[in-house]
Chain A
């Protein structure tokens, strides 16, 4: 029997209204992603990539359609339950990393665990484990401004993994990185998928990443322009 998909969307639509003006950001998106899969979402600017990630991450609600995360519908959840989804079930890595400047690397990684109510000991142990995984041992007390762009992205990945989510969403993870750092980040993602079976969805402009990704989705004007191609 086939394993339950980590994420599934049915006829997902998102429309924005600005007065009488209607903008269709997403139109009839159907997706199904399984455990340990890496999906690249690509397309031109304004094609709906970030909107899709924000919907899948529980930041926003669709105008119509369904999002099922581990078989549970999140598209009609209230704000409180969506906060818990963002904290425990989904990790998010933002284009500009979105680290809190006033907090150290260790504190940034611990944030989601703090909101989850983990103890100091649990947070410290998990943070040490994650910083080791992303190659930032020894930089626990550094502030984000003391790190390179690549290192900041690694902190953001560590934070996204803190509460052991089954799904991690990355919005333009290599958008601010050079080629070497981009490859290093993608290698890190690949290692995490192999080691922990985490599912990744990456929205990107980087064609090199798209070509090396087994599954990809091309978005154009809010619609899937090419079917999901699986190389597995």
Chain B
């Protein structure tokens, strides 16, 4: 049915379920082996990927493999049944913390023989994704359709909570930063009121004073952003998020994260300097010189 939606070039069922791997919890992905290459960009570290619907065979993500200390050829227990590890794969994504089993096996394990928990689809044109999602929602109103980037938060309540908490913290911190920096800017400029009065007395226009304050603020903002990004990068190397028992996902930093963080920091620094700049530009030199 999903394949029938205009604009979809590929669709495959995927069943995600939390299972017990040896004594730990792990996220198991049931996939159609023949469609794995179209579904996932991966490389094998050791052994081979599962290639058929054979039961008793599974592949481990690199990080999960390291966590439970098992590799290619080792026996593992999945929901109490003995399996053999065919190989260890690497995706550089949250999938490295999961285990891959055949889709039909996953269906049997979770008691959903003719069903699936998810269908992964690819749009022919990446600019058309939102349109395709809209069509699927219209066609199958009881299904939830979302982008692949939203998958972690859709399948894991921890991720969903973390995303929600992170968004709230970002909003609060941004507002706090704008107000805090604005207050600091105002105090700083008030202390230098005499200097700005001298600038105006010697012929600086209203606009020139505003430009001076904004340039200074952006310069300090740039310096602060660079230092902040450096510290964040260093600290985030040591932080990981637990997704299931004994399994934590390290924060993967990509260039766009730094770009967004830098843009946010510049915006905060710019916003926080507008009001102080407008206020100080209205200074009347004769009043400052006569009354302080």
Using a CB–CB cutoff of 8 Å, the interface residues on chain A facing chain B are 50, 54, 59-60, 79-80, 83-84, 86-88, 92, 94, 96, 98-102, 111-112, 115-116, 159, 163
Contact = CB atoms under 8 A, between A and B. Distances in A.
Contacts of A111: 198-199, 202
B198 A80 contact: no
A88 B203 CA distance: 8
A88 B205 CA distance: 12
B127 interface: no
B205 A115 contact: yes
| Smallest CB-CB A-B distances: 5 pairs | A87-B203, A83-B205, A59-B286, A112-B202, A115-B203
B177 interface: no
B166 interface: no
B178 to A, nearest CB: 27
Contacts of A159: 202
Given A60-B286, A86-B202, 15 more contacts: A50-B290, A79-B206, A83-B204, A83-B205, A84-B203, A86-B203, A87-B203, A92-B201, A94-B289, A98-B201, A100-B198, A111-B202, A112-B202, A115-B202, A115-B205
B201 A86 contact: yes
Nearest to B282: A79
A112 B206 CA distance: 14
Contact of A80 (B194, B206, B290): B206
A59 B203 CA distance: 10
B200 interface: yes
Contact of B285 (A59, A99, A100): A59
A83 B203 contact: yes
Nearest to A90: B203
B195 interface: yes
Contacts of A86: 200-203
B287 to A, nearest CB: 9
Contacts of A59: 201, 284-286
7 contacts: A54-B286, A59-B285, A80-B205, A84-B205, A86-B200, A86-B203, A115-B205
Contacts of A94: 201, 289
Contacts of B203: 83-84, 86-88, 112, 115-116, 163
A47 to B, nearest CB: 15
B161 interface: no
A27 B200 CA distance: 27
Interface string B275-292: 000000000111001100
Nearest to B194: A98
Contacts of B205: 79-80, 83-84, 115
Given A50-B290, A59-B201, A59-B285, A102 B206 contact: no
A96 B285 CA distance: 13
